[in-house]
Amino acid sequence: MAVNSVNSVNRGDRSASALVEVPRGLAGVVVAETGIGDVRGREGFYHYRQYSAVELAETRGFEDVWHLLVHGELPDPARLAAFTAETAALRRLPAEVAAALPAVAAASAPSGPLAGLRTALSLLGAARGFRPVYDIGTDRRRADTLTACAAVPTLLTALHRLGHGLEPVEPREDLSYAANYLYMLTGEEPDRERARAVERYLISTIDHGFNASTFTARVVASTGADVAACLVAAVGALSGPLHGGAPSRALDTLDAIGTPDRADAWIRERVLAGERMMGFGHPVYRTEDPRSRMLREIALGFGGPRVDFAVDVERRVEAILAELKPGRELHTNVEFYAGVVMELCGLPREMFTPTFAAARVVGWSANILEQAEDSKIIRPVARYVGPPPQVPVPVAG
């Protein structure tokens, strides 16, 4: 044992003194293996398991894809019915969690429902008796993720309504995941077109490689923490404006431009100033974001002046960039048309990122389950660049 300990220290010393240079933000660095999905940025393609994510969004329901990520296969009708019933029954909150939500909503009101979700998920995990994934088996881990995922829409919509002085709406088990989400948010059963539009958006954002929040969830899972702790950490990462906070900001861009005749001048000013265009560009894709393409089609299906304006702004941004920054391609990302679609479906802007979380929680959970199968904690090192070590000067007296 002593020899092993010394060897470990020596290996640590060598790695600390001669670290391998890596890109900022670990861009392009492989840190794990996964069977959940992948993003092929140069091709403009991403998939869940072996299926195109966009094709799944176009042909399947949310519960189908949730089953795929949890069980590794698309369900047949009988299994789908059973899985849908199982998860729908988990939507109601424990009484002690529901009783605490008014206080959580009041405290988090300045920041919104996503901030409240961090506290609410912790309460849910405690109330449901979540235990460290290190101490439980696969079936219990899976059950905990289903419990959390099913409850997230209930928590988010309740926090939103309470923050606006409205009573939460109890979930319905006869509605799909997406339709029930809209129902709890507005208090009215949504029409089929809007429910399906939101469902397609939710499916398209369930998972997307080792993004910041997914990686965060896996880091926490590698410590053996419980599912709620992993998800709370992921929500914290998602709350950053450089990750999940852009859909409403993309609409802010349209609002700032105002009218089509102002578009060119507004865009030119920002491009020449080197400012970031919210809703444009992606760290992975070098072609058009396939999610944006799908959401543009959904928006065009609704039609109207807002959609026409968004399409025109997209075209002008790309044309002006080609003129002023030749060779620099910048396409719309998922946030640009996501904001347009969600606005058309009646979602308030403060619920755009929470709605993203209502989908991504399923992807986070799949990654948590996968990471929990590996007992190795994620523990990288950093290169120290501070003052050199020195002996502290004793204090006189």
In degrees and rounded to multiples of 5, residue 37 shows phi and psi of: 175, 180
Q: How many residues does the chain have?
A: 397
Q: How far is CA 343 from CA 336, 340, 349, 380, in A?
A: 11, 5, 7, 41
Q: How far apart are CA 154 and CA 173, in angstroms?
A: 12
Q: Which two tokens stand for residue 119?
A: 């506290």
CA dihedral 192, 197, 202, 204 (to 10 degrees): 140
CB 245 within 8 A of CB 355: no
Active site residue 335: yes
On whether the CB atoms of residues 202 and 178 are closer than 8 A, the answer is yes
Distances (CA, A) of 265 to 10, 269, 322: 60, 6, 15
Residue 378: which H helix or E strand, with range?
none
- What is the spatial distance between Cα 197 and Cα 39, in angstroms, rounded to a whole number? 23
Task: Verify whether residue 282 is a known catalytic residue.
Answer: yes
CB 341 within 8 A of CB 295: yes
Say which of 199, 314, 335, 343 is annotated catalytic: 335
Residue 48 has φ and ψ, to the nearest 5°, of: -110, 125
Q: Say which of 67, 160, 282, 331 is annotated catalytic.
A: 282
DSSP track, 144-203: HHHHHHHHHHHHHHHHHHHHTT-PPPPP-TTS-HHHHHHHHHHSSPPPHHHHHHHHHHHH
Q: 322: which 2 tokens?
A: 């080609």
CA distance 70 to 10: 41
Number of helices (H) and strands (E) in the chain: give both, helices first: 17, 3
CA distance 173 to 8: 54
Structure tokens at 364: 């986070």
Which residues carry out catalysis? 282, 335
